[in-house]
Amino acid sequence: MSRQAADDLVEEANSLFKDERFPEALARFERAVQIFPEHSLGWKGLGHCLLLLARPHDAARAFDRSIGIRPDSATALWGGAVAHAELGNKLMATNYLRRTLVLQPTWIDMARTIPLFAAILQISTKAADALHAVFGAFSTRTYRHADDETRAVDVGRLLNQPRLNAFTYVTLGLSNKAWPDTARPHVELMLATVVDGEICGQILANLAFHLQTTSFFPQPGVLVRDVIGALSAGDLSQRLPHVFIGVPRAWRIKLPLVENPVPITLAQAIPVSEPEYVLWRGNPTGFELSFVERGIDVFDLRRAG
């Protein structure tokens, strides 16, 4: 059997597909790729049929084959993005969607109307990519708002950052917040600790939810009261109930993480005590330097208030 025979089957299958006779179209696409396994249009048509017949696993494999043969096909990449998004394969879906939009930039408006692509197109996805480029792979956990299950923020956990035997927690989601002052950059939060534990992720998630709700921008130098105190985390909530926002110098990262088209930067969350809050009120500009002057390790959540 020849390439011509496969072409004829694909042409017939496309006609059936347009008439919404999907099972019949599927059979012809399948026959075409059996006859000529390198038929990119045959694999692409097969993928679209399988998607419409609610077989996303098989559809994803078909689109993968089509893209492998013709990597510059925007329609195959789009179909592959849809199939992998349905399967929850975020990495592959993101890769295919981004490649689609490079080839067809005007399709972004259409992509924004598709719920499956909503998360991929969020600013926090760019923040995550930038952080992975700096730190490599790291685990994440999703935290949901106590009073609204639809609101969530992910928190990543990095080992031996920003120093040996320390841990860094970082939000992935706050950067989706658009501030009332449109000149403000998008922001993710970091917290460093030598005392690892679930409470670290909770601190950042609670702070992120508070900032989203109040639209209070985490400008370095400001202090946010009762972020940790509200968590009822025992002795920690008593000793260090508040959070100071600092510049994340210890990580030695070039900021902003992303410059264009939307700047994304980082801010450090530092747990502080009530007496330190009083100290901050008396001298906000010199407060961060006071940690050095007092010999305070801000990574140590066991420190006295």
> Cα separation of 12 and 38, whole Å?
18
Question: For the purposes of burial, counting CB atoms within 10 Å of the CB of 51, is it exposed (0-12), middle (13-18) or buried (19 or more)?
Answer: buried
**pLDDT tens digits in sequence order for the chain, 305 residues long:** 588 999 999 999 999 999 999 999 999 999 999 999 999 999 999 999 999 999 999 999 999 999 999 999 999 999 999 999 999 898 899 899 989 999 999 998 899 888 889 878 889 988 998 999 999 999 999 999 988 988 999 999 999 999 999 999 999 999 999 999 989 999 999 999 999 999 999 999 999 999 999 999 999 999 999 999 999 999 999 999 999 999 999 999 999 999 977 899 999 999 999 999 999 999 999 999 999 999 999 999 999 87
Q: Which residues contact 43 (CB under 8 A, 6 or more apart)?
A: 29, 33, 62, 63, 65, 66, 69, 76
- The per-residue pLDDT for 1 is 55
Q: Which two tokens stand for residue 281?
A: 């009120």
Sketch the domain layout of the chain as residue ranges. Answer: 3-118, 123-293
> Cα separation of 19 and 25, whole Å?
9
| Location of structure tokens 């004829």 | 8
Q: Tell me the fold of 3-118.
A: 1.25.40
> Cα separation of 137 and 126, whole Å?
15
CB 25 within 8 A of CB 45: yes
> Cα separation of 230 and 210, whole Å?
11
Number of H helices, E strands in the chain: 13, 7
Q: Which two tokens stand for residue 115?
A: 């719920």
Q: What angle do CA 80, 85, 90 make, to 5 degrees?
A: 105
Residue 283 is given by DSSP the state -
- Residue 60 vs residues 29, 47, 68: alpha-carbon distances, Å: 15, 7, 12
